[in-house]
Amino acid sequence: MTNPRVKQLFEAAPAILPSLLQCDFGNLEREVRRLEDDGCQGLHLDVMDGVFVPNISYGMPIVDAIRKLTDLPLDVHLMIQDPGGYAQAFSDAGADLLTFHVEAVDEIAPVIDNVRSLNMGTGLVLNPGTAIDAVTPFLDQIDVVLVMSVDAGFGGQAFNPVAIDKLKALRAIKPDLILEIDGGVNLGTIGSCREAGADLFVVGSAIFRSSDYAAALDRLRAEVQRHDPHSS
């Protein structure tokens, strides 16, 4: 992997990635600047197509707009059918790390090869009901596994502790793999995610429902540090 922003993100881990789906899109530049000023090390973008998941969010134009606003690494989570068919377009729009669902494709390996050929970080995503066996054959070909603690595309779900079991199992299988967690990550759950081996934490409501993003991020970072298995 030679993408410098992906290297930057991985070297910053453990890192909190604000999920921009919940930001104020009427003031997108202001939101990005606030997060930059608050020391964020990357941004998470959720792309939904209304087919693979029942909601529609945004696509390449928003990724492109955010890319023009910041040099922060952009972690793009594709919740879409045929992710391989759109990999080039998201690369052109400025994505640095592209993750796609194993449930969305019949053949995983060709999509991995496609994404890697575009010099993006490559990741596989697991919904709560999908066993880690779906990704273990590919761990040497990818950079990240994104473990969902909620079903992709649905809001308001409770954190499913099966995600903790998956993080622990994946960490045991491949200790140097970057592990990401998404869904219901907040002050009450982020510590156990770090203890289980998560490196990247996608956080939405716990940041954007606060009037003070910096304070919210500081509290989350403190929890990560407090539960860091590598901390003395």
Which residue range(s) make up the domain with 67? 4-226
> Rounded to two decimals, what is the model's pTM?
0.95
Going through the chain in order, the beta strands assigned E by DSSP cover 15-18, 43-48, 74-79, 97-101, 121-126, 144-148, 178-182, 200-203
49: DSSP letter: B
Average pLDDT of the segment spanning 62-81: 97
User: Which residues have a Cβ under 8 Å from the Cβ of 137 and sit 6 or more positions away?
Assistant: none
Q: Is 191 annotated as a binding residue?
A: no
- Which residues are tagged catalytic? 46, 182
How does pLDDT run across 44-55, given as a tens digit for each residue?
999 999 999 988
pLDDT in tens, 94-152: 999 999 999 999 999 999 999 999 999 999 999 999 999 999 999 999 999 999 999 88
The total number of structural domains that make up the chain: 1
Q: Is residue 231 part of a domain?
A: no
Q: Note the pLDDT of residue 157.
A: 72
Say if 232 falls within a structural domain: no
| 92 in a structural domain | yes
Assigned domain for 222 exists: yes
What per-residue confidence (pLDDT) applies to 1?
A: 58
- For residues 78 and 63, give the distance between their C-alpha atoms in angstroms, rounded to a whole number: 12
Which pLDDT band, with edges at 50, 70 and 90, does 187 fall under?
Answer: very high
Would residue 182 count as lying in a domain?
yes
Kindly report the CATH number assigned to the domain that includes residue 108. 3.20.20.70
153 is in an annotated binding site: yes
Q: What is the DSSP string of 58-92?
A: --HHHHHHHHHH--S-EEEEEESS-GGGGHHHHHH
> Is 227 known as a binding-site position?
no
Q: Is residue 181, in this structure, part of any structural domain at all?
A: yes
State yes or no: 85 annotated in a binding site: no
Domain for residue 211, yes or no?
A: yes
**Per the domain annotation, does 76 fall within a domain?**
yes
